[in-house]
């Protein structure tokens, strides 16, 4: 049985999210990186995405952002910043 946070690739290239997240995003017609970024502030409002899942999606977005766009808070997770 897959763990809640097991990730897999989906229709948005470069992102690895849990299957549940992909199902919710598909249901909400979010199919591109730009659409996901535009809706990142309201992920918890989508039925099936709680605070933990929303945080995971936002982290995946941060890791996928160009280096110049990363903030100090997301860079703390980068192994090179240690």
What are the beta bridge partners of residue 17? 8
Binned at pLDDT 50, 70 and 90, residue 78 comes out as low
Confidence (pLDDT) at 2: 47
Confidence (pLDDT) at 14: 87
pTM above 0.75, yes or no: no
- Alpha-carbon distance of 49 to 72, in angstroms, equals 26
Q: What share of the chain has pLDDT > 90, as a percent? A: 55
Check whether 39 has a pLDDT greater than 80.
yes
Measured from the Cβ of residue 19, the count of other Cβ atoms closer than 10 Å reads 13
Domain ranges in the chain?
8-81
Q: Please compute the mean of the pLDDT values over residues 41-68 and round it to a whole number.
A: 88
- Alpha-carbon distance of 63 to 78, in angstroms, equals 9
C-alpha distances in angstroms, 82 versus 6, 64, 73? 26, 19, 13
What are the beta bridge partners of residue 9? 16
């Amino acid at each position: 049985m897959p763990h809640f946070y097991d990730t897999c690739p989906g229709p948005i290239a470069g992102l690895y999210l849990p299957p549940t997240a992909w199902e919710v995003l598909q249901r909400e017609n979010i199919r591109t990186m730009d659409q996901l970024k535009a809706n990142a502030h309201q992920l918890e409002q989508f039925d099936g995405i709680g605070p933990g899942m929303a945080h995971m999606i936002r982290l995946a977005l941060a890791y996928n952002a160009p280096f110049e766009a990363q903030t100090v808070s997301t860079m703390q997770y980068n192994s090179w910043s240690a």
